[in-house]
């Protein structure tokens, strides 16, 4: 490609697309290079038995008028185009605990949230109020999260070092309430003694503020942004994998793709995992110490997914999600073994325009360590490059799926009977589609004990190479959107776009 772009963006995940859309609007000629056939990274959907499945968007928070994600989507002109379904005000997530027949409800709106939990924990009003106040206080310290300009690091520093477990144990001695408050921790892969409270707070806050499902899947978010990017003169190349980031005279001059083409640009933004970005960048400007630091950071655990297609009109559509945790393991869910797996699971029904009353499908999500699939790590399988991982792998997935289904059936009687077919995905599927090393769901795990170590800057030592995506600040659609904005602000050297978004 002979043309030189203002900005070449490697990867079309949420962070990459936000950068491309925002910076295209600012007049820059952008080019997005995506290795997959479908755009969007974890926004991608896929169809099995004529039913649409999400790969990484089961629900979204902060989408009511004036809230943070709403305002960004409004600025990008996509909020009115998306087919959104508000989840029930009185329950977006139900928490299930092994051996306890009750279901604990997480409701939208802070007072509503407190009142619902008070029904099960009538003596815990003080703790619940402290919990909600702390979430709001912590979230208020992050300017961008509130689409506010002019913040500084001191503001955040005051809250970055709060440990989720220590804080929750400090507000209540009630073990059941503690377990319930971290009941949907699969949303952020809680690790005891590691996960900062700000991660918990920003995610919970967005869903308590408002919770939404995308009808017929979340890939529309990416499709509408791609349309915007093209309308602003940008170009998008799918099936184009970047293999090398070539540095000459102290800056990146081009990237080389799998077919040997060179794409030249004045600036480059990588939406790939930072480790992959560093591996592809040959330059002594990036110090070994920095590479070691980034490579030493732990990624969050991977996921095992069972996507179920139901026989028509057999299983009712359930608008809320469910999170199940094994009794007493709420702080150690990632530390399972063969006998104790699955330590937890999540259940999501997809919203379908074709079948509003009956669920067309159900997604089950459990944790899965990369080590469990390591023996097949040498295989690669996506729709663009299909490779059979072999019979052993299929047998392994079947055993896991059946074990997970048996546990789910205990709390969801009738699920098995309604199944028409099911399809599974492991950390290897995520690794191959997303392009990281270990199929991690949410990328670099944050650490309260050394918060700045696990923050990745959007800038690199190479002046025209930037980073974006879930590994920077926070994961999730909201988190990756914020990362896209952080990178755009770093690139522009001005917070004017935040003002524009706030006033959209
Ligand atoms: C199972 C699961 C469920 C989830 N559920 C939710 C949810 O309900 N709600 C929510 O808000 N979030 C959810 N998330 C998280 C959310 O989807 C992600 O945090 C977010 O989409 C990540 O965006 P990103 O910008 O980091 O890009 P990614 O999605 O990581 O995409 C990176 C892109 O870069 C491309 N790429 C990589 N290498 C190359 C290369 N060499 N050349 C060209 N392109 C390349 C990839 O193909 C990909 O398109 C979920 C995630 C998972 C895994």
pLDDT mean by block of 10 residues, the chain; 504 residues = 88 98 98 97 94 95 98 98 97 98 98 98 98 98 94 87 98 98 98 97 98 96 98 98 97 97 98 97 93 95 98 96 98 96 97 92 98 96 89 97 98 97 97 96 97 92 98 97 98 97 96
Measure the CA–CA gap between 245 and 465, rounded to whole angstroms. 9
Ligand 1 and 186: CB distance under 6 A: no
Measure the CA–CA gap between 110 and 122, rounded to whole angstroms. 16
Helix (H) / strand (E) containing 237: strand 235-237
Ligand 1, closest atom to CA 36? 47
Ligand 1 and 212: CB distance under 6 A: no
Ligand 1, closest atom to CA 430? 53
Exposure on the CB side of residue 392, measured as CA atoms within 13 A: 7
Which residues, in sequence order, are bridge partners of residue 212?
Answer: 60, 86
Ligand 1 and 442: CB distance under 6 A: yes
Domain with CATH 3.50.50.60 in the chain: 4-43+62-74+217-297+450-502
Which alpha helices (DSSP H) does 161-258 contain, by range?
A: 164-171, 175-181, 197-209, 219-231
What's the chain's Rg over C-alpha atoms? Answer: 22
CA 477–ligand 1 middle distance (angstroms)? 8
Measure the CA–CA gap between 314 and 413, rounded to whole angstroms. 12
- Here the tokens at position 189 are 């892969």
321-325 and 344-348: which strand pairing? Answer: antiparallel
**pLDDT value, residue 417:** 97
In this structure, is the dihedral angle defined by the CA atoms of residues 189, 193, 199 and 200, taken in order, positive or negative?
Answer: positive
Report the SS3 class of residue 179. Answer: helix
Measure the CA–CA gap between 33 and 241, rounded to whole angstroms. 7
Q: Closest Cα to atom 46, ligand 1: which residue?
A: 434
Ligand 1 and 10: CB distance under 6 A: yes
Q: Closest Cα to atom 50, ligand 1: which residue?
A: 56
Q: Say if domain 4-43+62-74+217-297+450-502 classifies as CATH 3.50.50.60.
A: yes
**pLDDT value, residue 152:** 80
Q: Closest Cα to atom 3, ligand 1: which residue?
A: 56
**pLDDT value, residue 2:** 67
**pLDDT value, residue 14:** 98
Angle at 94 between CA 92 and CA 95, to 5 degrees: 140
Q: Closest Cα to atom 9, ligand 1: which residue?
A: 57
Q: State which of 476, 484, 485, 487 you would mutate to test the pocket of ligand 1, scoring each by most atoms of that ligand within 8 A of its C-beta.
A: 476
Verdict on whether the full-model pTM lies above 0.95: yes
């Amino acid at each position: 490609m002979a043309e030189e772009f203002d900005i070449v963006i490697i990867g079309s995940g949420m962070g990459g697309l936000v950068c491309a859309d925002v910076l295209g609007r600012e007049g820059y000629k952008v080019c997005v290079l995506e290795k997959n056939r479908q755009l969007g990274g974890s926004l991608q959907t896929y169809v099995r038995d004529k039913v649409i499945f999400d790969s990484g968007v089961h629900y979204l928070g902060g989408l009511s008028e004036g809230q943070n994600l709403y305002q960004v989507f409004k600025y990008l002109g996509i909020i009115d185009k998306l087919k959104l379904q508000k989840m029930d005000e009185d329950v977006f997530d139900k928490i299930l605990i092994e051996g306890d027949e009750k279901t604990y409800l997480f409701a939208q709106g802070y007072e509503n949230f407190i009142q619902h939990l008070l029904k099960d924990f009538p003596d815990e009003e003080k703790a619940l109020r402290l919990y909600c106040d702390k979430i709001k206080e912590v979230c208020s310290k992050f300017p961008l999260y509130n689409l506010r300009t002019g913040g500084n690091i001191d503001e955040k520093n005051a809250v970055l070092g709060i440990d989720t477990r220590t804080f929750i144990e400090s507000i209540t001695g009630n073990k059941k309430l503690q377990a319930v408050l971290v009941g949907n921790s699969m949303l952020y892969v809680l690790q005891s003694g590691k996960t900062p409270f700000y991660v918990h707070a920003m995610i919970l806050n967005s869903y308590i503020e408002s919770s939404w499902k995308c009808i017929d899947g979340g890939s529309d978010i990416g499709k509408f942004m791609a349309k915007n990017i093209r309308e602003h003169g940008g170009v998008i190349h799918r099936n184009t994998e970047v293999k090398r980031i070539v540095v000459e005279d102290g800056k990146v001059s081009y990237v080389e793709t799998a077919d040997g083409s060179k794409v030249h640009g004045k600036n480059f933004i990588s939406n790939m995992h930072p480790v992959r970005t560093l591996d592809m960048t040959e330059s002594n400007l990036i110090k070994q110490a920095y590479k070691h630091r980034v490579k030493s950071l732990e990624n969050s655990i991977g996921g095992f997914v069972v996507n179920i297609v139901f026989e028509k009109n057999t299983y009712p559509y359930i608008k809320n999600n469910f999170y199940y945790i094994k009794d007493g393991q709420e702080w150690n869910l990632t530390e399972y073994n063969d006998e104790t797996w699955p330590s937890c699971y999540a259940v999501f029904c997809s919203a379908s325009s074709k079948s509003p009353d009956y669920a067309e499908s159900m997604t089950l999500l459990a944790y899965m360590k990369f080590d469990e699939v390591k023996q097949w790590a040498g295989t690669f399988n996506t729709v663009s490059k299909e490779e059979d991982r072999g019979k052993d792998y299929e047998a392994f997935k079947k055993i896991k799926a059946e074990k997970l289904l048996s546990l789910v059936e205990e709390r969801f009687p009738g699920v098995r009977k309604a199944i028409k077919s099911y399809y599974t995905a492991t950390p290897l599927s995520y690794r191959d589609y997303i392009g990281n090393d270990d199929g991690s769901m949410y990328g670099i795990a944050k650490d309260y004990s050394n918060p700045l170590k696990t923050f990745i800057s959007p800038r690199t030592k190479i002046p025209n190479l930037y980073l974006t995506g879930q590994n920077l600040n926070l994961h999730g659609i909201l988190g990756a959107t914020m990362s896209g904005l952080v990178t755009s602000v770093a690139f522009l050297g001005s917070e004017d776009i935040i003002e524009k978004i706030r006033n959209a």
